């Protein structure tokens, strides 16, 4: 796999911008894909790979895997006769800044930008969307970058507000009669999470939850947890922090007493990266968290992508491969259907690939003016005794 990736990167080094060129190019909708490929870090000035053939730096993985998925989607679109002109940019180029790339003349009539971006790039992409009046899809960062009044910017990975509201509504729906304890550490983000829960409680049409907030230090003990639980009553425990290490410790210690204290543990979006939940030490505890990109990989497209990677790269495709494929396929299809009206039809649920997207306008609460668009769909997943499955 690593040797294959080196060959792929070698091709990229020779083609920092990839696009189709023929006599009909002017009639093709243009798409730009931005991803952190780190080509200049992987190759020297003579296009020689900087690392040994068996070495593949982890920092390159995410962007390259996203691109691989996008390229597979573009190949599939080409096979069915879809005509597109696609430009690919390396956001980690040492020769051009992202600002310079966004000013490229060939992007003058681009109709859609798909961005695998970082937190400090969100605002730049949002500004480009508003300036060009074209949709920009932020596929990775659950952050709006302080955007306001921008009907062309789409946050595909739901923000912390949407996640917290989703958790609150889930507990209301399924555990309304249980006692609810929010275990948290002290911090700015933790205070923000509490505010989001409390704000939603003020506006909910259902009976508000009675949340009990308990502050813990990082070295908290199981006895401190026991003091907040009832052996005769089911408790919903919510991890009120994005700190995954804190969440893992909380889950581990609650699992150790789950036979004596019936409970359900609700986690945060950062828990998607915790693979330790497969270990026996977490058995007995029901762990639930939300993920907008849940893919059980049981559909034909997922199986085909998996087979391609197994047979060609001798590896399994990562979740970022599937995301690159899904986002590129869906929004390219919508662009070809709606053309210049794409921005008015972002909520079209057609062309589903793996997951459902529920793209809704985000409104400023006082003036009710449009701020941007956001995917509001959350899948709730449950870990129990080392196995994970969707629960809604």
Mean pLDDT (whole number) for 208-217: 96
Mean pLDDT (whole number) for 29-55: 75
pLDDT of residue 19: 42
Q: Which strand ranges, in their side-by-side order, compose the sheet holding 286-291?
A: 211-215, 179-184, 235-239, 263-266, 286-291, 379-384, 387-390
Distance CA 260, CA 283 (A): 13
Mean pLDDT (whole number) for 381-391: 90
Is pLDDT of 119 > 60? yes
Is pLDDT of 4 > 60? no
pLDDT of residue 255: 97
pLDDT of residue 50: 65
Q: In Å, how far are 184, 186, 242 from 289, measured between CA atoms?
A: 16, 21, 12
Least confident of 4-13, 176-185, 287-296, 360-369: 4-13
Mean pLDDT (whole number) for 351-374: 91
Tokens 């998996």 locate to 306
Is pLDDT of 289 > 60? yes
pLDDT tens for residues 167-184? 999 999 999 999 999 999
pLDDT of residue 366: 80
Distance CA 340, CA 350 (A): 17
pLDDT of residue 368: 81
Is 380 strand, coil or helix? strand
Quote the tokens at residue 114. 């798909």
The DSSP line for 55-73 is ---GGGHHHHHHHHHHHHH
> What domains are defined for the chain?
2-158+297-357 (3.40.50.2300), 160-290+380-390 (3.40.50.2300)
pLDDT tens for residues 141-152? 998 888 889 999
pLDDT tens for residues 240-285? 999 999 999 999 999 999 999 999 999 999 999 898 999 999 999 9
Is pLDDT of 17 > 90? no
Q: In Å, how far are 31, 67, 180, 327, 360 from 347, measured between CA atoms?
A: 19, 24, 34, 13, 7
Q: How many CB atoms lie within 10 A of CB 265?
A: 24
Is 25 strand, coil or helix? helix
Percent share of the chain, pLDDT over 70: 89
Quote the tokens at residue 230. 């009832």
Is pLDDT of 99 > 50? yes
pLDDT of residue 22: 41
pLDDT tens for residues 68-82? 999 999 999 999 999
pLDDT of residue 213: 98
Q: Print the SS3 string covering 224-262.
A: HHHCCCCCCCCEEEEECCCCHHHHHHHHHHHHHCCCCCC
Nearest residue to 161 (alpha-carbon basis) of 134, 179, 176, 143: 143
Residue 39 vs residue 254, higher pLDDT: 254
pLDDT of residue 24: 44
pLDDT tens for residues 305-318? 999 999 988 889 99
- DSSP category for residue 166: H
């Amino acid at each position: 796999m690593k040797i294959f990736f080196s060959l792929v990167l070698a091709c990229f080094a020779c083609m920092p911008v990839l696009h189709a060129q023929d006599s009909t190019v002017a009639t093709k909708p243009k798409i730009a894909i931005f991803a952190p490929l780190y080509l200049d870090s992987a190759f020297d000035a003579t296009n020689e790979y900087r690392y040994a053939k068996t070495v593949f730096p982890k920092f390159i993985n995410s962007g390259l895997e996203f691109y691989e998925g996008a390229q597979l989607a573009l190949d599939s679109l080409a096979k069915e006769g879809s005509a597109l002109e696609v430009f690919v940019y390396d956001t980690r180029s040492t020769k051009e800044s992202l600002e310079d790339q966004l000013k490229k003349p060939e992007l003058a009539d681009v109709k859609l930008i798909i961005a695998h971006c970082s937190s400090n790039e969100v605002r730049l992409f949002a500004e480009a969307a508003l300036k060009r009046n074209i949709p920009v899809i932020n596929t990775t960062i659950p952050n709006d970058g302080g955007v306001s009044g921008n009907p062309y910017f789409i946050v595909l990975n739901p923000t912390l507000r949407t996640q917290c509201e989703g958790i609150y509504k889930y507990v209301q729906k399924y555990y309304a009669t249980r006692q609810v304890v929010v275990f948290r550490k002290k911090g700015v983000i933790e205070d923000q999470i509490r505010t989001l829960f409390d704000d939603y409680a003020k506006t909910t049409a259902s009976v508000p939850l009675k949340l009990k907030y308990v502050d813990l230090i990082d070295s908290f003990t199981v006895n401190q947890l026991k003091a907040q639980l009832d052996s005769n009553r089911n408790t919903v425990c919510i991890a009120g922090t994005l700190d995954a290490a804190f969440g893992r410790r909380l889950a581990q210690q609650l699992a150790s007493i789950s036979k004596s204290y019936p409970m359900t543990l609700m986690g945060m979006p950062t828990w998607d990266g915790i693979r330790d939940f497969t270990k026996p030490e977490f058995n007995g505890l029901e762990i639930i968290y939300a993920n907008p990109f849940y893919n059980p990989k049981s559909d034909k497209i997922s199986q085909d992508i998996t087979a391609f990677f197994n047979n060609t790269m001798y590896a399994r495709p990562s979740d970022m491969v599937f995301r690159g494929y899904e986002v590129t396929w869906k929004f390219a299809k919508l662009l070809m259907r709606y053309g210049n009206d794409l921005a008015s039809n972002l909520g079209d649920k057609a062309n589903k690939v793996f997951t459902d997207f529920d793209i809704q306008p985000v409104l400023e609460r006082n003036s009710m003016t449009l701020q941007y668009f956001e995917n509001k769909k959350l899948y709730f997943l449950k870990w129990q005794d080392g196995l994970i499955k969707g629960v809604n």
